[in-house]
Structure 1
Amino acid sequence: MIRSIVWTSERIPSTEYAVLDEDLNGFTLRGVVICSPSDGPMRIDYHVLLNPRWETTSVSVTTTNSEGVRDFIIVPDASHNWHVNGQEIPAYRGCIDIDLGFSPVTNTLPIRRLGLKVGHSADVEAAWLQYPGFAFVRLPQRYTHLSEQTYIYESQNGGFRAQLDIDEHGLVETYEGIWRTAAIS
């Protein structure tokens, strides 16, 4: 294990435990979110596999609430065609990164993959699993590296903007106005 972290949300009552691991095949991000959106308590388990270049190779998300259990198996192929539970999602074609809307954990992917120098920006398009609702949307994003451990994240064509403070592994410690670190090791 490289790092474990606990986040709390300032928007929706939630706590998340996440782990970043590395092995010969690349990296793994896995975690569990316990949250209470307006429609009642929910547990979200996720597992994201990445190759050594920080490109998404597979994602599994399981939600559990009073309505039951929902599983999402999200797999991009080598040509960046994405499939969710076996069905291709044409809107995701060409995306490299997954963005799990219920967690700051997937901001690590483009931060690590892009390796931006301070003062530089890059645009990416992410395969976004929205939260709440769990709809599948293509999301244009921009990352700007402000200082050694600070980025500006923008999405929705500049309609959303937040400062991200990261650790030495690229994990978000503070996501302005939304998440903050409660514990890290």
Structure 2
Amino acid sequence: MKILLWRGLINKSWEHCSVDERDSGFKIASEIVGNYEGETYMVNYLINTDNQWDIQDFEIRCDIQGEIKRFYGQKNGLDWLINGQIEPCFAGFNYIDISITPLTNTLPIKRLALNVNESKDINVIYIDILNGSIKPVRERYTKISKDHYRYENLESTFASAILIDRNGIVKTYPGHFELVA
């Protein structure tokens, strides 16, 4: 089991995350506490992947000042059941992006296994925890060097360089997250 600790810079958060390797894949469990627009929040999430880091299911529980929100997703062939219903707009998606954690940037980096100067556009289920929304988004990852990637949200103008550690874990997401331990 690998234990990770990230500091969130924008939302003044701390994330304690465990990645447990199993025969069938990886079980990722995390707890995030932080402050968003003056309100304290706590988020717990669980993600199960196969051995190639392909997400099989996820569960997210968010408490913002006592208001509870839940998101649950399960892959069913090419379809996704989101909160118990098939959502056709996510058909064929392999990735999720949870807005308040760099862990969901780590997953495509590990799964894509890009070569230097190679790019890949992907479709993600984007989960904006603090605003309570879930939608399809197109993203691009480009491997710039052995330990640097460029992340781009193709739905907006947002782009950022991401530094990874020797295990492919996001180490620095400038202005957003820093791996502390």
Match of 2:119 in 1: 121
Mapping 1:1-185, distance limit 5 Å: 1=1, 3-38=2-37, 40-79=39-78, 81-157=79-155, 159-182=157-180, 184=181
Secondary structure of the structure 2 residue equivalent to 1:112? helix
Whether the 8 Å contact between 1:99 and 1:107 is mirrored in structure 2 is yes
Secondary structure of the structure 2 residue equivalent to 1:36? strand
The TM-score, its normalising length taken from structure 1, stands at 0.92
Give the letter aligned to residue 54 of structure 1. W
Whether the 8 Å contact between 2:69 and 2:132 is mirrored in structure 1 is no
Q: What displacement does 1:172 show?
A: 0.5
Alpha-carbon distance in 2 for matches of 1:25, 1:168: 23
Q: Mark the runs of 5 or more structure 1 residues left unpaired by the alignment.
A: none
Secondary structure of the structure 1 residue equivalent to 2:56? strand
Can you list the C-alpha shifts for 1:152-183, whole angstroms capped at 9, x where unaligned? 0001346110111111222101001111122x
Give the fraction of aligned pairs with identical amino acids, expressed as a percent. 26
Alpha-carbon distance in 2 for matches of 1:42, 1:71: 13
Runs of 4+ in 1 over 4 A off after TM superposition: none
Alpha-carbon distance in 2 for matches of 1:181, 1:113: 20
